[in-house]
């Protein structure tokens, strides 16, 4: 009973009570006359109950025992007929059942049979005795069969209708009405047998068994044909559903955030429709509309759909066409139920302030009213490009606030009552894992079109109150002066840090901000190059993929965005430990000679702080800013390459001498010692000769990185050239220098084994100290280099002696000539 709706439970209890009353009224009327006939009829009816067939479309069966029930009404007493009918029902319920029936099902079936027999019996007696005056026995039997058929099938159809939310007439006609002719045939056969009984005895009833089998076989043949037709319909329905899912997938290709949203909206909407008692066709229409209501977004530019901020009036006008376009697309599908009106009206509001037609209240289709409420609820409770997700309770509270204005109060009441259960159902179904569409693949083949692209329109910001003309004139003069100063200052330096620092100061006079961030594009990621103002640490730590968040969207589309939400930047979206007090952002692309090289983002604590004038000012100078930053980046790269070794990333010889002169000046002032180590790799030429230059380069990179890690933070490691490295170690004592030499020898040996899997690499180290070995950079390096070659020659002699010992075992080095 727990799984049944309340109305169905009431019907089951009422049927059981009526059946008990019918059986109770006949307890005192039992008689034992013709007991053999009763036993024969009951046994035959029970045997016929085993000849049952499954009904199409529902979980139920039908047998040919009804023939003996009708015969019992003619030949037996009412108590005997009731026992015959209930016994045959029990056999039909349990005999070869696919699964054991629940007690409530058995009670309902027996109750239904008892009520049908009781009513049909008295109808037959009334018509036969009083109305037809014993002359209309066939007509009375036909009326009896009709009453029995109706009462034996209508209650089951009612329960199925209440449980599956289908029209009772549809269930009854599809599942039971096809059997009505068989009841009429059965009534004729029962009348014929009754006539024979009066002529040759009740044993003539046994002659009906072959006819029972014929009826059973006709049942089977008819239902097998119905099953084939049903299978064909199911296949077509499956194809229809897959077509709908494919259309929904087309929406997903446009908006990657849509798929999970559509599935969740479908669960909510269908359950609300069932709660409201919508017909099955209306529920199916809503099921399809929940998946397809956003298909009209295919006609909306992608940069508007994925924009991580408030839409401009022009953009919103473009977005508002999607219900109409979606309806026009779906009209071509010719759905068998009303999907199109739901899609067309799912943005209408209860008070008439929606779009596209301004429908209000009952003018809006019920499916559209349901869809509007659940669509809004799930959108508020889901992450979007322009804001974080709200907790489900807060999202529902916002929907409840708009009951009677935006949404149907009746729908909102049910949603308020059942939203927790619906959310659990949506989560239980889980997201569908499907392969991502190939929207990111780049097709290399195919020539570019001959025509160019149309110029892009600039975005506008929300309107603001216009100042008086004197203030406007003064502001214009100040703007022109500041722009001239900014343009002049931007070309005065090739240092990117100095350039961006000047930019931030000058720009604040034109566009007030609380924080500024300039992101530079490196492949497909935006890296903060300059950050100043509030939340400095927060923005400095971000790495924003192109296409994600506010700045990533600007970098991908090369379009500005005004009054966006700063908290949607990837890196701290939905991270409670990272919270920003900033509430509005203005971001513009920085264009260089080769395209978008970065994004300039300004942030303010007040919402809607930026205006269209601010956008205009930034767009007027971003080309100059972009080219200036591009030149500064190129200068930094050139400057770095002039002082950095390209292979190891260490400083080169030029940088070494500059640094060594600085360290010597510091050592003279402080009186601290300074050690210079010159290292040369022994065996490096063998690596190149035996394993190739690529492995030799790998050994150099590994050695350089290991030496850098082994030194102190303020030690300086440089590559002089080839396989020669120099270490500058200020304040290093002689014992520590000796320990450092041992570490360098161990590092060289480990690098040789890592690259060549053998002890092939070693290092010769010469050291010189300030002031004992010289006071100039050239003197110290020259002395360390000389000592390095002395160590190298010693290593060479030792290696030669080891070789000879291997060739002449048993002799000392003095005996080897």
Q: What share of the chain is helix, strand, coil (3-state, %, to 5)?
A: 60, 10, 30
Cα–Cα distance measured from residue 384 to residue 391, given in angstroms and rounded to the nearest whole number: 13
CA distance 587 to 496: 20
Measured between alpha carbons, how far is residue 366 from residues 131, 294, 415 in Å? 50, 18, 14
Q: Which residues contact 668 (CB under 8 A, 6 or more apart)?
A: 775
Q: What token pair was written down for 769? A: 């100290």
Q: Is the dihedral of CA 397, 403, 408, 414 positive or negative?
A: positive
Contact of 582 with 566, CB cutoff 8 Å: yes
pLDDT digits (tens, 9 = 90+) for 476-530: 555 555 655 655 556 555 667 777 887 788 788 888 899 999 999 988 899 898 8
pLDDT of residue 677: 93
Residues whose CB is less than 8 angstroms from the CB of residue 750 and which lie 6 or more positions away in sequence, other chains included:
706
Measured from the Cβ of residue 261, the count of other Cβ atoms closer than 10 Å reads: 20
Pick the CATH number of 6-221 from 1.10.150.170, 3.40.50.2300, 1.10.1760.20, 3.90.1660.10: 1.10.1760.20
Q: Which CATH superfamily is domain 470-642 in?
A: GAF domain (3.30.450.40)
Under DSSP, the state recorded for 733 is -
Q: Which two tokens stand for residue 384?
A: 């979007």
Distances (CA, A) of 740 to 220, 305, 631, 649, 735: 95, 61, 42, 21, 9
Q: Distance between CA atoms of 569 and 553, rounded to whole angstroms?
A: 10
Residues of the chain with CATH 3.30.450.40: 470-642
Kindly report the number of other CB atoms within 10 A of residue 758's CB atom: 11
- Distance in Å from the first CA to the final CA of the chain: 109
Rounded Cα distance, 192 and 196, in Å = 6
The CATH 1.10.1760.20 domain(s) of the chain lie at: 6-221
Greatest Cα pair distance in the chain: 149
CA angle centred on 561, ends 558 and 565, rounded to 5°: 130
What tokens does 608 get?
A: 């809607």
- Cα(659)–Cα(566) distance, rounded to whole angstroms? 43
Per-residue pLDDT at 370: 92
DSSP 176-207: TGGGHHHHHHHHHHHHHHHHHHHHH-GGGGGG
Closest CA to 310 of 546, 617, 566: 566
pTM over 0.75: no
Domain(s) of CATH 3.30.70.270: residues in the chain = 653-807
Task: Report angle CA 775, 778, 783 to the nearest 5 degrees.
Answer: 80
Strands 716-721 and 52-54: unpaired
* Structure-token match 């180590």, residue found: 677
165: tokens are: 């939310």
Distance of alpha carbon 719 from alpha carbon 723, whole angstroms: 8
CATH number for the 255-429 domain, one of 3.40.47.10, 1.10.3210.10, 1.20.1260.10, 1.10.760.10?
Answer: 1.10.3210.10
DSSP 56-84: TTSS-EEESTHHHHHHHHHHS-HHHHHHH
* Plot region of 682 (φ>0 → left; ψ -120 to 50 → alpha; else → beta): beta
Distance CA 305, CA 296 (A): 11
Kindly state the helix (H) or strand (E) to which residue 492 belongs, with its residue range: none
Running DSSP on this structure, what letter comes out for residue 478? Answer: H
Please give the Cα distance from 701 to 695 (Å, whole number). 10
626: number of Cβ within 10 Å = 21
Residues 6+ away with beta carbon under 8 Å from 246: none
Local structure of residue 129 (DSSP, 8 states): I
Q: What is the structure's pLDDT at 480?
A: 52
Q: What pLDDT was estimated at residue 369?
A: 93
* CA 407 to chain CA mean position, Å: 26
Distance CA 793, CA 476 (A): 78
| 677, containing H or E segment | strand 674-682
Q: Enter the tokens of residue 649.
A: 């990333």
Q: In what order do the strands lie in the sheet with 515-522?
A: 544-545, 525-533, 515-522, 595-604, 584-592, 561-564
Q: At what angle do helices 280-292 and 209-254 cross, to 10 degrees?
A: 30
CATH 3.40.50.300 applies to domain 653-807: no
Q: What is the pLDDT of residue 482?
A: 60
Whole-number pLDDT of residue 743: 92
Measured distance CA(176)–CA(170) in Å, rounded: 10
3 state SS of 29: helix
Residue 615: how many CB atoms within 10 A of its CB? 21
Question: So what's the pLDDT on residue 84?
Answer: 85
Burial of residue 411 (CB within 10 Å: 0-12, 13-18, 19+) is buried
Whether omega before 771 lies within 30 degrees of 0, making that bond cis, reads yes
For residue 399, give the 3-state DSSP assignment: helix
| Distances from the Cα of 667 to the Cα of 588, 663, 673, angstroms | 49, 6, 7
Task: Write the CA distances from 442 to 251, 524, 546, integer angstroms.
Answer: 20, 14, 16
> Which stretches in the chain have pLDDT values below 50?
433, 448-470, 472-473, 574, 815-817
381: phi then psi, degrees, rounded to nearest 5:
-90, 5
């Amino acid at each position: 009973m727990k799984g049944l709706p309340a109305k169905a439970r009431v019907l089951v209890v009422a049927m059981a009570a009526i059946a008990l009353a019918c059986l109770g009224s006949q307890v005192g009327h039992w008689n034992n006359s013709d007991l053999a006939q009763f036993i024969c009829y009951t046994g035959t009816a029970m045997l016929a109950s085993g000849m049952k067939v499954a009904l199409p479309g529902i979980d139920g069966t039908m047998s040919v025992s009804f023939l003996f029930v009708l015969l019992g009404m003619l030949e037996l007493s009412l108590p005997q007929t009731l026992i015959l009918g209930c016994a045959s029902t029990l056999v039909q319920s349990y005999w070869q059942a696919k699964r054991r029936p629940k007690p409530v099902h058995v009670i309902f079936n027996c109750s239904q049979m008892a009520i049908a027999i009781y009513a049909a019996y008295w109808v037959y007696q009334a018509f036969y005795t009083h109305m037809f005056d014993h002359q209309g026995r066939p007509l009375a039997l036909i009326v009896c069969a009709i009453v029995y058929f109706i009462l034996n099938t209508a209650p089951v159809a009612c329960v199925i209708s209440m449980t599956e939310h289908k029209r009772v007439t549809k269930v009854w006609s599809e599942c039971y009405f096809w059997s009505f002719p068989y009841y009429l045939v059965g009534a004729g056969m029962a009348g014929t047998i009754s006539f024979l009984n009066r002529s040759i005895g009740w044993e003539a009833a046994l002659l009906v068994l072959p006819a029972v089998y014929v009826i059973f076989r006709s049942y089977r043949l008819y239902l097998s044909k119905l099953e084939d037709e049903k299978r064909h319909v199911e296949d077509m329905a499956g194809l229809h559903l897959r077509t709908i899912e494919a259309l929904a997938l087309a929406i997903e290709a446009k908006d990657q955030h849509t798929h999970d949203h559509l599935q969740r909206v479908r669960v909510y909407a269908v359950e609300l429709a069932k709660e409201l008692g919508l017909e099955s066709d209306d529920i199916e229409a809503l099921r399809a509309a929940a998946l397809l209501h956003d298909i009209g977004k295919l006609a909306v530019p992608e940069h508007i759909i994925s924009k991580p901020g408030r839409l401009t009036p022009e953009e919103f006008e473009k977005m508002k066409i999607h219900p109409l376009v979606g309806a026009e697309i779906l009209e071509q599908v010719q759905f068998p139920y009303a999907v199109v009106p739901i899609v067309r009206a799912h943005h209408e509001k209860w008070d008439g302030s929606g779009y596209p037609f301004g429908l209000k209240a009952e003018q809006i289709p019920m499916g559209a009213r349901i869809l509007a409420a659940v669509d809004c609820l799930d959108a508020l409770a889901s992450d979007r490009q322009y804001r974080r997700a709200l907790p489900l309770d807060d999202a529902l509270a916002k929907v409840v606030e708009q009951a009677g204005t935006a949404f149907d109060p009746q729908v909102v009441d049910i949603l308020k009552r059942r939203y927790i259960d619906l959310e659990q159902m949506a989560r239980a179904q889980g997201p569908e894992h499907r392969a991502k569409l190939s929207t990111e693949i780049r097709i290399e083949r195919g020539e570019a079109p001959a025509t160019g692209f149309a110029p892009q329109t600039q975005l506008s910001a929300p309107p603001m109150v216009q100042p008086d003309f004197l203030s406007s004139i003064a502001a214009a003069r100040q703007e022109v002066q500041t722009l001239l100063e900014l343009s002049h200052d931007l070309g005065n330096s090739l240092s990117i840090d100095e350039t961006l620092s000047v930019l931030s100061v000058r720009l604040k006079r034109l566009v007030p901000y609380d924080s500024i961030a300039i992101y530079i594009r490196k492949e497909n990621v935006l890296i903060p190059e300059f950050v100043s103002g509030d939340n400095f640490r927060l923005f400095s730590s971000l790495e924003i993929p192109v296409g994600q968040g506010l700045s990533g969207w600007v970098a991908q589309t090369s379009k500005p965005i005004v009054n966006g939400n700063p908290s949607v930047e990837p890196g701290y979206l939905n991270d409670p430990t990272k919270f920003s007090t900033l509430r509005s952002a203005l971001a513009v692309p920085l264009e260089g000679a080769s395209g978008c090289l970065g994004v300039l983002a300004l942030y303010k604590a007040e919402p809607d702080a930026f205006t269209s004038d601010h956008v205009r000012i930034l767009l007027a100078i971003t080309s100059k800013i972009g080219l200036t930053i591009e030149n500064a980046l190129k200068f930094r790269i050139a400057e770095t390459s002039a002082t950095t070794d390209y292979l190891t990333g260490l400083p080169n010889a030029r940088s070494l001498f500059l640094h060594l002169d600085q360290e010597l000046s510091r050592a003279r002032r402080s009186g601290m010692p300074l050690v210079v180590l010159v290292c040369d790799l022994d065996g490096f030429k063998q690596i190149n000769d035996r394993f190739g230059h690529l492995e030799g380069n790998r050994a150099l990179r590994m050695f350089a990185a290991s030496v850098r890690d082994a030194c102190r933070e303020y030690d300086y490691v440089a590559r002089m050239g080839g396989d020669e490295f120099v270490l500058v170690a200020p304040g290093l004592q002689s014992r520590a220098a000796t320990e450092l030499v041992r570490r360098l020898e161990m590092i060289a040996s480990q690098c040789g084994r890592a690259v060549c899997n053998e002890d092939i690499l070693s290092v010769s180290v010469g050291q010189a100290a300030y002031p004992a070995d010289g006071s100039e950079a050239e003197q110290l390096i020259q002395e360390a280099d000389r000592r390095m070659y002395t160590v190298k020659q010693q290593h060479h002699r030792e290696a030669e002696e080891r070789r000879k010992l291997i060739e002449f075992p048993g002799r000392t080095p003095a005996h080897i000539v």
